[in-house]
Chain A
Amino acid sequence: MFGQANVLAQGQAEFPPSVGDFYLPSILPWGAENSYWFTKITAMVWIAVGILIIFFLATYRKPQLVPTKKQWFAESIYGFVRNNIAVDMIGHAGVRFAPYFTTLFCFILLTNFFAIVPFFQISPNSHIAFPAILAVISYVMFIWVGIRHHGFVKYVKASLVPPAPWYILPLLVPIEFFSTFLVRPFSLAVRLFANMFAGHMLLLVFTLGGFAMLSANVWLAPVSVLSWVMTIALTFLEFLVICLQAYVFTVLTASYVQGALADEH
């Protein structure tokens, strides 16, 4: 918010915000356009990775049978994903996927959370590259798991051919193919991306809108204040969305893996 306020004070940001606001200039080389190796976004990804690695390594350096507070906290994150997502969705076989799901969940949650952390204030997941990577990993993973579990032919048959009368199969098989093998990665990636994109956009609109109204007419100041109050309210909403989307992404991945492992259609 402050960054934007400063920018606006200098007359550099325009209202309404546009897609260009999501593409911040590069940090190294400083200020370069169209250089994406080291931007605020990639820096945040590295910071998220660093925080998670340090947190988990520090809390789990010397695990004890009777956990300390920190160890308990780290364990309960893992235990949540393990028991409430992996085991709930997949069953006992889900335990071996729990480490990946937990990593996925933590990564999405933290990178999403940057959207409402002061001075970060944008989620890397509002750039489709990161949700896309995660979605592709999930996609490859559930297909790989399915083929490993059933064998290629049987897996393809199990996932494409529903138990239905033969004359309806010409209709169902393309639908199944479309929904399982084409739509899934896109829906996963776009759901996360769009939520974070829209969340950032909403916050921008209400924050910058307040400034825009204030600079347009001093008498609109109360409306500006209302706009900023809305920003705060929307930040809470954004927090809900952050947690929800991290959960949904993980649950859907688990659900796809479960579908690939399932014996019946």
Chain B
Amino acid sequence: MKKAKHILGIGALFAASLFLISADHIDAPAVQGGSSDITDFYAFQGENTDNMVFVANVQGLLSPAATAEASFDESVMIEFNIDNNGDFVEDLVIQAVPRNGKMYILGPVAPVQTGLSSMLTVESAKDVNSVNITAYGEEAQVSSNKGISAFAGPRDDPFFMDFAQYSAIIAGEASGFNNPGTDTFAGTNVMSVVIEVPKSMIGGSGTINTWVESKRKQ
């Protein structure tokens, strides 16, 4: 009880910085609510266990009505980064760029350069895959080419959490979570990119470090 109050007191001090918890939805002022705001990142073994699936979601908390109007920003690249040797620098990237109703998928390929800037060149464009961006209300359109499957379009936000109660706790208005809790993200959608690749293309075995980035064309 005492401990709980102590936590609450400190928590209240941090309320400003912690108010908007979620997976990565609206995580920072510069990207909050914008077309480059990453909401979530997943990496898991595919239905075919020789494959790895990467999921990046952007533009969170879309109501059904807002989803019908939502689209990928053609100036924003979604880049999956893969580090094979444990130095936290990307050795491979999978890059997704939307254009004219299609999502173009480059890689897995060694990046032209690592770090905060990504350059796409003539070479980058040689082995590009693409998939039609699925419209809201339409059956999922999937492309498969050379073992790589791709999807891009609106999906249910797979994230779940009682964000409202967490906020109440942090604000000092509640003394704990409810049981059962309420999923604040129920009924909301995201814009999603799903790419499945053979594990043999990203190192084959062992452990990778992976993260996703959104990057805007200059």
Q: Does B bind A? A: no
